[in-house]
Structure 1
Amino acid sequence: MMGDVEQHKVVSLDRGLFLVNYKSADDLASPPHVTVVPAQGHEGRMELIMHPDASEPTLWQPNSGLMVRVNTPGTLQIQVQPMRPGGSRAAMVRIEPIQSGRAPLVAQSEHTALHSNVVIEGLKVLGHVAGRGDVIAAPNTWIAGPTAPSRIEGIALDWPEKPVGLDIRYAVQFANGQAGSGKMVSLGTFAGTRGRALPITGVVLEISGTDRFEFVAEATFLNAPTLRAIGKRVVLSGPTSREPLVGIRMGINRIAATDNVVVPAKPARKSVGSGRVRVFRSRARQESSVG
């Protein structure tokens, strides 16, 4: 019967922890049940954390829920099925991202919303390394670094697929106020020196034009702990701001979306009650719903 057909909705989730909360149903006497499973082929990307008394990832009534731990961005499938033949298939399920605590950053961070930790593809990072020349790395890949420290004398960023309206600038700093120290340059421009043996002692990264992206960067300075910074503007330097940069890796994160998506379910027989399926994507303090 058409009224008994399951309703499916797929939701794309970034890396993180999410609460899937069955909030309410139109028919409280015979509420539909909701099954939560990874999409086919995405089983290895996430794991479901259920109540210890649950044997399957099915939410049988409102005010029940489970957790989804997403290790690699993937797709979650929400299946809604009526409790009885011809019954209601209208259920509201909220998918709420849970923000993790984070240690203080040695950087200036202007955004405190949920971070998706998804590195943008297509970004290229160039570092001019003493004794090696120009080294080009993919996002989130070390140039020199903790296991192979070497003096870095210049950097450049390139992102051919950069969204329109997004502005990226960066600067390097030298000891003793060398010419060009601290000068902000645009995407694709080399900042630093080649063949002059002038080590970098600081890096500044800025991104503007949209709230959907931010920098994530790590840097190692000589005889100093590795620093990690996340934000729309980050500043990396050693304890005295004079230590040479001997390793860096950086990327650009896409921050969790705030767009609302409304998708109607396939209609059942006219005599059957509402079968709407709604999905709302949101930030940590807002709500995502399937209803």
Structure 2
Amino acid sequence: MQDLKEFTFKTRLLSLEPGLYIARYASLHDAERPCLISLQPTLIGKSTVDFFPGESVVRNTLAQLGDTLIIRVKNGCGTLLITEYQLQGVSLQTVDLRIDRIDTSESILRPTSGNADIGQPGARAATVALELTGHFAEGVSSVHATTLGDPARTQRLEGFRIDWPGRPAGVDLAYGCQIAGVLQPAVTTGQFLGASNKQLPITAIALALVGPRRADYRLEAWAGFAGLAPQPLLPGEECVAPANAFLTALHVSINPGVEMNACCYQSPWDGHDPHRSMCAFREEALQET
């Protein structure tokens, strides 16, 4: 292994509800651009976080495809410190770390004859695409769709509203953005976010589920920035556009299942605040409501 001084590192905090999780290194190994991901508990709160590493994992550090770590969180919400090490002097590798909640609810029951209806315990509802209303630049009127814009085009999305028809009690979606680099207050479903007809670009976006039942649902969303492939929007994490890029497309859906893809994130970390946790974004959103 190379000398530690040859590596550069970035850190972030991740908050997890009580439960069992499986963390997996989900990228192909690149010998010329190695990337190590270390997970450690923090001293935040009074929860207990335990790790059960797979056979190839040393010191809770994932280094290659297939490296696995089981995480147990109990006695309250737990916070992890995630550190990513990449080799200096080479282009940074895009790495996926998947953390999925292990389902222990009634949904794991095998359906039997006569109880497989959608309303019965153990049945799983389909993913729900939320309704989006967007305002585009260049004189385009409001657009209503489940997917706003086209990531392959450069038509600027200046503002949008997200509606969740039939939203269940105890959960809501909070969303915030930056307009021309200026952070805007977070809002919840049914409220407009942005600055229509002012020729100002949206340069960053963040979404998170809020409310006491947020752990029962999974957020699945992506954003398109001009000139780039669609980027996944990770719950509670701010996705920042590179220099001179702006928001052109957006899609948001909700999966009413308890599995949680908690931090399938990408690096490099350009424009990312490593100390901004999911809980922090949720708390800010709730203060605005």
Question: TM bucket by the smaller chain?
Answer: 0.3 to 0.5
Whose strand fraction is larger, Structure 1's or Structure 2's?
Answer: 1
- TM-score, normalised on structure 1? 0.44
- TM-score, normalised on structure 2? 0.44
Larger radius of gyration between Structure 1 and Structure 2:
1
